[in-house]
Amino acid sequence: MERILKAAILGMGNMGRGHASSMMKMEGVKLSALCSEPIGDARRFAEEEHLECQIFDDFDQMLEEAQIDVLYICLPPFAHNGQFEKAAKRGIHIFIEKPIALTLKRGRAMAEAAEKNKIVTQVGYQMRFGVAVKKFKEYIADGTAGRMTLYMANYECNSLHGPWWRDAKRCGGQVFEQVIHLYDMSLYLMGKASAVNGYVANLCHKQVEGYTVEDTSVSNIRFKNGALGSVCGSNCSVKNQWNARFRVICENMTAEFEDQNHAVFTFTGEEEIRVEEIAADADCTYEEDRYFIRTVLGEEKPMADIREGYEGLKLVSAVVSSSEKEGSTVRVE
């Protein structure tokens, strides 16, 4: 008989709703409990979707009273306070949105809890599930790309976002919250980082009340395999646009990504230069959710697990701590 996983979601804002919608379309999983504090977000979703499930505003109570095989943690960064470890202790498999934490100590505790309790984990790095990114990974794996040399990435938007996002203490900053997608992509494509220097600055939003995060950032990365990288972020760019573009130069090909689904690959290691264009419209939130459920069911290998989430956290923490030391080099241990 087909196994049906019981799924619960903690945090029913933008991302909680997105993952809940995926669950409702997917086979092999049933959405059985929602939790948000205040409870209104969870209630509203269940009513709008005519969903029959348990609704909570207390995470501990949900753990006690609901049957849960997989948990989605979709909280703002400041609200993580041990929910991951409590669920891991019960053997519940966990999908968690990025950034997994605001401090390395919290992130490390999560990774250790997952490993100790042998649970399946996945972090919300949905860009990894784009069609163009998947194709490029194949070219790296089969040797077509050749040696990885240079990663260049830009995250740009112009939005005030919500109150917790603008507050450095609650959100961590744009590097932690958004540009982290491109830092994760650098680790996914280029391999582990060894050293970083960076600067972050608030240049356009000093007059905005409560806006204490940076709106401009830049970093240089050295990877363990000798490759180099550079990542920039801005919240002073074009309004109503969210762009996460990156370009990778390898020994035998140059890959230019407009986003995770759109890229132009120029093969430079052949006698004549050849170009391949990829244009797809994969719903990467749905794809990452399906992948996670399939991993829990034993049909896929873990991808973007909590240990990789912790590596991403180490990298963005290194950028910010380099900036605090006037851009001096910070080793990523």
Ligand X SMILES: NC(=O)c1ccc[n+]([C@@H]2O[C@H](COP(=O)([O-])OP(=O)(O)OC[C@H]3O[C@@H](n4cnc5c(N)ncnc54)[C@H](O)[C@@H]3O)[C@@H](O)[C@H]2O)c1
Question: Which residues of the shown chain bind ligand X in the complex (CB under 6 A)?
Answer: 10-16, 35-38, 41, 59, 74-77, 79, 97-98, 124, 126, 162, 177
- Please say which residue, 156 or 267, places its beta carbon nearer to ligand X: 156
Query: How far is it, in rounded angstroms, from Cα 160 to Cα 236?
Result: 10
- Between the alpha carbon of residue 73 and those of residues 9, 58, 150, 173, the distances in Å are 6, 13, 34, 20
Minimum CB–partner distance for residue 197 and ligand X (Å) = 25
Query: How far is it, in rounded angstroms, from Cα 180 to Cα 188?
Result: 12
- Please say which residue, 127 or 248, places its beta carbon nearer to ligand X: 127
Minimum CB–partner distance for residue 13 and ligand X (Å) = 2
In the sheet that holds 93-96, the strands lie side by side as: 54-56, 29-35, 5-10, 70-73, 93-96, 121-123
- Please say which residue, 59 or 246, places its beta carbon nearer to ligand X: 59
Minimum CB–partner distance for residue 224 and ligand X (Å) = 26
Minimum CB–partner distance for residue 40 and ligand X (Å) = 8
- Please say which residue, 98 or 314, places its beta carbon nearer to ligand X: 98
Minimum CB–partner distance for residue 271 and ligand X (Å) = 41
Minimum CB–partner distance for residue 1 and ligand X (Å) = 33
Minimum CB–partner distance for residue 288 and ligand X (Å) = 8
- Please say which residue, 155 or 267, places its beta carbon nearer to ligand X: 155
Minimum CB–partner distance for residue 14 and ligand X (Å) = 4
- Please say which residue, 74 or 250, places its beta carbon nearer to ligand X: 74
Q: How far is CA 328 from the centre of its chain?
A: 26
Minimum CB–partner distance for residue 56 and ligand X (Å) = 9
CA atoms within 13 A of residue 249's CA, in its CB half-sphere? 7
Secondary structure (H, E, C), the chain: CCCCEEEEEECCCHHHHHHHHHHHHCCCEEEEEEECCCCHHHHHHHHHCCCCCEEECCHHHHHHHCCCCEEEECCCHHHCCCHHHHHHHCCCEEEECCCCCCCHHHHHHHHHHHHHHCCCEEECCHHHHCHHHHHHHHHHHCCCCCCEEEEEEEEECCCCCCHHHHCHHHHCCHHHHHHHHHHHHHHHHHCCEEEEEEEEECCCCCCCCCCCCCCEEEEEEEECCCCEEEEEEECCCCCCCCEEEEEEEECCEEEEEEECCEEEEEECCCCCCEEEEEECCCCHHHHHHHHHHHHHCCCCCCCCCHHHHHHHHHHHHHHHHHHHCCCCCEECC
- Please say which residue, 81 or 328, places its beta carbon nearer to ligand X: 81
Residue nearest to ligand X (CB): 13
- Please say which residue, 316 or 318, places its beta carbon nearer to ligand X: 316
- Please say which residue, 278 or 313, places its beta carbon nearer to ligand X: 313
